[in-house]
Amino acid sequence: MRQPHLVYFADPMCSWCWGFAPVIQAIEERFGPALPIRLVMGGLRPWAEQAMTAHDRADVRHHWQHVHTASGQPFDFAFFDRDRFVYDTEPPSRAVVVLRRRGMDTGLAALRRIHRAFYAENRDVTDTATLTALAAEFGVDEAAFCSEFGSEAAVEETRGDFVIAQSAGIRGFPTLIAGKGDDDQYALVTHGFQPGARILPALEQWLGKAAAIPSAETGQACA
């Protein structure tokens, strides 16, 4: 990309990414086309097969409570009444990848919608029927979505996102990096949750002065 831009590594089932969602939306609204965001699915827990244990549920609940306190984002804790839930982040990641094909703006909006469905509405976003219904909210025909979602091409494109994240050394989410577009050098904006009050001024300064982005301090991340 031959202009200043951001690369956002996230996962649809990362609670800190849900906490960070308003910040990403604020960046989109503030900078628009002047600072496009490329979305990459990070692969938090893809292809998980084992159901969550009582210990797993307690650990995840702790994270959710922390994210709610830090960000104010809503959570439906009825999720923890589920039996034998498998926390597989690949299906919702693949759904975002399929919707991202309609444009990066749609991909970012789809990530937010799946976040909300999972965290605030207690919907099972590992379920194909749920993902199909959410895709329909973006005007995507049910049969078309199911065909794309079930294709080997979508599986491989999603896997490719995970490989990009791993190759970039990304070990937690959310992670936001920035590039000026004239070389392959990127600077860290944040690894982990940070409020918009820290992120937006750093981006303002960077764009205004065409200088290196001052890295925000590392915050809370899913890993």
Residues 6+ apart with CB under 8 A from 94: 149, 154, 155, 158
- For residue 25, the enclosing domain spans 5-209
* Predicted pLDDT at 60: 96
Tokens of 91: 């299906």
Structural domain contains residue 169: yes
Number of folded domains that form the chain: 1
Q: pLDDT tens-digit profile of 171-217?
A: 899 999 999 876 678 889 999 999 999 999 999 988 876 444 444 45
Residue closest to 177 by CA, chosen among 169, 147, 34: 169
Mean pLDDT score, 40-44: 97
Structural domain contains residue 222: no
* Predicted pLDDT at 212: 43
| CA dist., res. 65 & res. 58, Å (int) | 11
Reported as a pLDDT band with limits 50, 70 and 90, residue 108 is: very high
Tokens of 29: 């609204």
Structural domain contains residue 219: no
Q: pLDDT tens-digit profile of 68-99?
A: 999 999 999 999 999 899 999 999 999 999 99
Contact yes or no for 97/148 (Cβ under 8 A): no
* Predicted pLDDT at 223: 61
Q: What percent of the chain has pLDDT over 70?
A: 92
CA-derived radius of gyration, the chain: 17
Q: Please say if the pLDDT value at position 155 is more than 60.
A: yes
Structural domain contains residue 12: yes
DSSP letter for 33, please.
G
Please list the residues that pair with 175 across neighbouring strands. 9, 191
Structural domain contains residue 217: no
Q: Please say if the pLDDT value at position 132 is more than 90.
A: yes
The domain that holds 176 is classified in CATH as 3.40.30.10
Neighbours of 23 (CB within 10 A): 21
Q: Please say if the pLDDT value at position 218 is more than 90.
A: no
Structural domain contains residue 176: yes
Q: Please say if the pLDDT value at position 150 is more than 50.
A: yes
Give the residue with greater pLDDT, 153 vs 1.
153
Structural domain contains residue 220: no
Q: How would you classify the pairing of strands 5-10 and 37-41?
A: parallel
| CA dist., res. 205 & res. 223, Å (int) | 29
What is the residue-averaged pLDDT of the chain? 93
| CA dist., res. 88 & res. 44, Å (int) | 9
Q: What percent of the chain has pLDDT over 90?
A: 86
